[in-house]
């Protein structure tokens, strides 16, 4: 959604600084974001969820924010990063 604004910023920067596109970047849209925005760099969390290695769990005693899964965590996926790289460098 923000590609047109990024394009304006890239044009206005005129090479004096780098405009970094980020927020929702994934293998399916990375190349299009670069093409539409004119940016030469992107930021992606490339996250996926993995299960917690926690062994002891006490039902009814929450360690996380309400409504969150405290028995998993997000981490950067090397596979997703590789997919993004492949998508932008066919």
- Domain-wise residue ranges, the chain: 3-57+66-88
pLDDT value at position 13?
A: 95
What average pLDDT does the segment 50-55 reach? 85
What average pLDDT does the segment 1-16 reach? 94
Q: What CA–CA distance (Å, rounded) separates 29 from 17?
A: 23
Q: Express each pLDDT in 61-77 by its tens digit.
A: 777 777 778 888 899 99
pLDDT value at position 86?
A: 97
- pLDDT > 80? residue 5: yes
Q: What CA–CA distance (Å, rounded) separates 76 from 9?
A: 28
């Amino acid at each position: 959604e923000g590609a047109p604004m990024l394009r304006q910023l890239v044009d206005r920067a005129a090479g004096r600084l780098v405009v970094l596109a980020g927020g929702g970047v994934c293998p399916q849209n990375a190349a299009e974001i670069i093409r539409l925005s004119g940016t030469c760099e992107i930021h992606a969390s490339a996250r996926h969820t993995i299960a917690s290695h926690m062994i002891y769990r006490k039902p009814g005693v929450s360690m996380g924010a309400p409504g969150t899964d405290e028995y998993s965590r997000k981490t950067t996926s090397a596979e997703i990063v590789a997919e993004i790289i492949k998508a932008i460098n066919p």
